Amino acid sequence: MKFYPTVNVLRNEKKELLKCLNSKNWSSFKGSLKESDYKNVLGLSSLSAGKLKDLEIRFLGGKYVRRLESNVAKQFKVKYCVSSNSATSCLHMALASLNVGPGDEVLVPSMSFNSTATSVLYVNAVPKFVEVKKDTFCIDPVDMKKKITNKTKAIIVVHLGGNSAEMDKILSISKKLKIPVIEDAAQAPGCRFKKKYLGTIGDIGILSLTETKNITSGEGGLLLTNNENYARRSRLVRNHGEGVILENLKKTDYENIIGMNYRLTELQSVIAIEQFARLKKVNMVRKKNSEYLINGLKKFNKILIPQKIENNTEYYPYILKFLWRGNHILNKKTLIKKLNMAGIPFTGGYERMMHENPIFSKMIAYKNGCPYFCSKNKKISKKYGKGTLPISERINKDFIWFKFIHPPNKKIQMDYIISNFKKILGDI
């Protein structure tokens, strides 16, 4: 049985890409910024920036970058969309926008991809890891609340696998304490909670366009916000902002903004525009395949437990996640091996949880113990490593994942998986 990868080149992409190639503007960004631009341009909504002439304000990128941002802002019903070369860059831009820095803690669920937490180190703050809920695998608001201190400067929630975190509870806690929330929606483009797109409910949201994700431009990321100040600061970080910071700005305008080159190219933007136009269609196939597969495996649902979807969530899965609780019948490693031998690419969860990663467990990031033991961070209580988050560790130990639910995979692939599970597990 053949399982197909996510990347699939279509006619529109080829046509537009060729136009862009021939235009010879492959990245129209310029790093220079005039005082008048700072005042009048940096805070322009993405819709207004999309209406500028092709090469008018190059600090905000070329026509395809701005068209992408304008389209996504419209599609996701948000004022600002700031693209970059990855979701990781967007996480950094988000934390810098919120002015997170030395002496600050950021709450992060350990169950995620590494950069959700390493991005906190980029701004010299430290992450504090939080447990996830046993059934939804998204951040547990109860543990989150317990871990808030007067040093907590931001909370990152992760909408794992397309499932929504419990946003009502999270926001009721964070709003009361005035702690901003970043939504890492890298794995959840187009998913909604109470009809609002994930990534647009908190203060800042981020999406990923890396090659494994629901839609892709090879690499790429998008930051979403309704806050003008966060949009300005993100746009500065993305494009060498510190190199052009103007003498007479207030300190708070440029504090904690180290300008990078996080710019998305015009070529990638062309692809991303077409991919977003197709998002709904692609997501519907993911939903259909995964529902069919879960239903076909229902017979085993005492030992093969699918991720519980949070109430009020419109869910389009990224990687299908199950807990394998059938070790008394067949251990997880053997099950995966048997499936793989039949040509079915199931895998076994994260290599390790983030809090077990040596960059945290050994507290070694920058030289001289920074940021963990640098001046202001010295007083922060930090506890990392195996055993500190037993719920997340147990879930990861039991995880089995399947990712090929995207088009052009369809019923025939799902039927093949179901029949192989039946063959392997027999009549239990």
Q: Which residues are tagged catalytic?
A: 213
Whether the CB-CB separation of 156 and 106 falls below 8 Å is answered with yes
- As measured in angstroms, the least distance from the Cβ of 242 to ligand PLP is 22
Q: Which secondary structure element, helix H or strand E, spans residue 43, and what is its range?
A: none
CA distances, 416 to each of 339, 392, 410, 419, 422 (Å): 11, 31, 10, 5, 10
Choose between 86 and 225: whose C-beta lies nearer to ligand PLP: 86
Please give the size of the binding site for ligand PLP, defined by CB under 6 A: 14
**Least distance in Å: CB of 194 to ligand PLP?**
21
> Scanning residues 102 to 121, which ones bind ligand PLP (CB under 6 A)?
112-113, 115-116
Question: Residue 294 corresponds to which tokens in the numbers above?
Answer: 């879960």
Nearer to ligand PLP, 184 or 274 (CB): 184
Residue given tokens 């109470």 in the structure block: 194
Shortest reach from residue 298's CB to ligand PLP, in Å: 28
Q: CB neighbours (10 Å) of residue 365?
A: 17
Shortest Å distance, C-beta 193 to ligand PLP: 16
CB-hemisphere CA count at 13 Å for 395? 25
Q: Is 187 in the site for ligand PLP (CB under 6 A)?
A: yes
Nearer to ligand PLP by Cβ, of 88 and 413: the residue is 88
> Which one of residues 44, 155, 186, 273 is an interface residue with ligand PLP (CB under 6 A)?
186
At 289, list the tokens.
């395949």
Answer whether 262's CB lies under 8 Å from 85's CB: yes
Nearest distance from C-beta of residue 11 to ligand PLP, angstroms: 26
Residue selected from 210, 327, 347, 388 as contacting ligand PLP according to rule CB under 6 A: 210
182 beta partners: 156, 204
- Does residue 184 touch ligand PLP according to CB under 6 A? yes
> How many of the other CB atoms lie within 10 Å of CB of 31?
14
Helical pair 115-122 and 87-97, crossing angle rounded to 10 deg? 40
| Residue 347 found at the interface with ligand PLP (CB under 6 A) | no
Cβ neighbour number for residue 277 with a 10 Å cutoff: 13
Question: Do 203 and 227 form a contact (C-beta atoms < 8 A)?
Answer: yes
Closer to ligand PLP by CB, 20 or 139: give it: 139
3-state DSSP assignment of residue 96: helix
87 or 330: CB nearest ligand PLP: 87
We find the least distance from the C-beta atom of residue 157 to ligand PLP, in angstroms, to be: 10
Is 221 an interacting residue with respect to ligand PLP (CB under 6 A)?
Answer: yes
Q: Which of 70, 124, 208, 392 binds ligand PLP (CB under 6 A)?
A: 208
Please name the amino acid found at residue 96.
A
Is 317 a binder of ligand PLP (CB under 6 A)?
no
Report d(CA 254, CA 243) in Å as an integer. 11
CA angle, 127 then 400 then 275, to 5°: 75
Q: Per CB under 6 A, does 164 bind ligand PLP? A: no
> Can residue 361 be called a binding residue for ligand PLP (CB under 6 A)?
no
Burial environment of residue 313 by CB neighbours within 10 A (0 to 12, 13 to 18, 19 or more)? buried
Closest CB to ligand PLP among residues 158, 304: 158
Q: Show the binding pattern over residues 71-100: x = contacts ligand PLP (CB under 6 A), - = does not.
A: ---------------xxx------------
Amino acid, res. 29: F
Q: Could you write out the DSSP letters of every residue in 17-33?
A: HHHHHHHT-S-------
Using CB under 6 A as the binding rule, the residues of this chain from 123 to 142 that contact ligand PLP are: none
> Which of residues 157 and 414 has its CB atom nearest to ligand PLP in the complex?
157
Residues in contact with ligand PLP by CB under 6 A are 86-88, 112-113, 115-116, 158, 184, 186-187, 208, 210, 221
